[in-house]
Amino acid sequence: MDKQPIILENRPIIGISACCMGCPVRYNGRSFDMLKFLGREKGDFTWVPVCPECEAGLGVVRPPVHIAGEHGAAVWQGEATVRSRGGQDVTQQVMEGARAAEDVLRRAGAQAFIYLDGSPTCGVYRTTLRDQKRGKPPGVFGAILQERGWFLIPALDLQSPLKWWDWRRRLLAFIWLQDVPLQSKDDLFTVWYRLKFMCQELDDTWARTLGRELAALGQKPDPEIYETFRRQVSDQLRKPSTPARLKGSLLKQYANFRKKTGQTVPEIQAADVRRNVTTIARELTLMERASAATGHMIGTAPVLYSGKLPKPSRQKAERLLGEAIPEASEAAD
């Protein structure tokens, strides 16, 4: 098996609720700048801001809307409506706006969407920003994005370096998985070899069951298995990890990295040092950089983006690792 990390060359394209990118499109003409939390990493992505309520023609400023009935999915089924604060029925406009916004995302080639939770339109797990008992999640736009399998990231998680690190590494794996050829049993094994550690971290029981099912496949698997596998692993990659599991992965993968390459990363602390979530995120990023620099894949982030990563040159790798890299024949196996 090839043990190099997979490095995506194309800049990932991410859709975002326009009001989270500083566009003053909320009903009250305000916005949030959530991308500021990413610092320089913001430039590693192409952003596609959309506002379904503006696409609906509701304008800024406008009366806030709410779902009258169950939730956004029920709106699409004709069993709930969208109403403005004054009681006006704006259901058709908001549905049109949601369709138009999704068209924009598809035309741009976006592979994920960062949403403002708490919006009756873009929200996925909440549809009210304050504690108003109006409509349950998801929102009208959130419902179609969920149903159509978009990779959905809550904007609030951009504030946490560790949560963002987790979303980003799963997103890169998700993007790679959508296009990787899956036509043979060997293809399945190759892809699973890349992603299984991350999947085990996310849901160990599920991942071990899948591993056993793959091992039991006959020589000529049913052709349906390939897309089922892609869909199941994609669903898994949408689920967040936890700080405890991420810390466990960091320690395990760093131990493995040291054993396989014979190298250390000076800034990564000893296993018994107490770490806060910011430090865990920083050390995971250092692990990614060491992986790119040495060409040694780490299972906790097997797919990387070339944007700001050091290319695997000896000089850059030695600078990161703080010491000379031995020739391949000298490195521990």
Q: Counting contacts by CB under 6 A, is residue 21 touching ligand SF4?
A: no
DSSP annotation of 325: P
Q: Which member of 25, 90, 250, 292 binds ligand SF4 (CB under 6 A)?
A: 25
Q: Counting contacts by CB under 6 A, is residue 75 touching ligand SF4?
A: no
SS3 145: helix
Q: Which is nearer to ligand SF4, 60 or 277 (CB)?
A: 60
Q: Which member of 110, 122, 191, 210 binds ligand SF4 (CB under 6 A)?
A: 122
The CA distance from 144 to 102, in Å, is: 9
Is the CB of residue 279 less than 8 Å from the CB of residue 273? no
β-strand pairing of 81-84 with 65-68: antiparallel
281 token code pair:
């995120």
Q: Counting contacts by CB under 6 A, is residue 18 touching ligand SF4?
A: yes
Q: Which is nearer to ligand SF4, 16 or 287 (CB)?
A: 16
Is the CB of residue 186 less than 8 Å from the CB of residue 208? no
Cα–Cα distances (Å) from 149 to 101, 119, 154, 174, 313, in that order, read 16, 19, 15, 11, 38
Q: Which stretch binds ligand SF4 (CB under 6 A): 115-123, 184-192, 245-253, 322-330?
A: 115-123
Q: Which is nearer to ligand SF4, 17 or 241 (CB)?
A: 17
The nearest distance, CB 217 to ligand SF4, in angstroms, is: 44
Q: Counting contacts by CB under 6 A, is residue 53 touching ligand SF4?
A: yes
Q: Which stretch binds ligand SF4 (CB under 6 A): 106-114, 117-125, 184-192, 242-250?
A: 117-125
The torsion of the CA quartet 35, 143, 48, 175, rounded to 10 degrees, works out to 90
Q: Counting contacts by CB under 6 A, is residue 17 touching ligand SF4?
A: yes
Q: Which is nearer to ligand SF4, 19 or 188 (CB)?
A: 19
Q: Which is nearer to ligand SF4, 27 or 229 (CB)?
A: 27
The nearest distance, CB 107 to ligand SF4, in angstroms, is: 17
Q: Which member of 81, 93, 119, 291 binds ligand SF4 (CB under 6 A)?
A: 119
Cα–Cα distances (Å) from 38 to 160, 170, 223, in that order, read 9, 16, 41
The CA distance from 239 to 223, in Å, is: 27
The nearest distance, CB 65 to ligand SF4, in angstroms, is: 9
Using CB under 6 A, count the residues that bind ligand SF4: 12
Q: Counting contacts by CB under 6 A, is residue 146 touching ligand SF4?
A: no
Q: Counting contacts by CB under 6 A, is residue 288 touching ligand SF4?
A: no
Q: Which member of 7, 34, 95, 116 binds ligand SF4 (CB under 6 A)?
A: 116
Q: Counting contacts by CB under 6 A, is residue 144 touching ligand SF4?
A: no
The torsion of the CA quartet 27, 29, 34, 36, rounded to 10 degrees, works out to 170
Phi-psi region of 13 (alpha: psi -120 to 50; beta: other; left: phi over 0): beta
Residue type, 70: E
Among residues 105, 100, 136, 101, the alpha carbon closest in space to that of 118 is found at 136
The CA distance from 322 to 333, in Å, is: 21
Phi-psi region of 27 (alpha: psi -120 to 50; beta: other; left: phi over 0): alpha
Q: Which is nearer to ligand SF4, 15 or 161 (CB)?
A: 15
Q: Which is nearer to ligand SF4, 49 or 69 (CB)?
A: 49
Judged by the rule CB under 6 A, the positions of this chain that interact with ligand SF4 are 17-19, 25-26, 51-53, 116, 119, 121-122
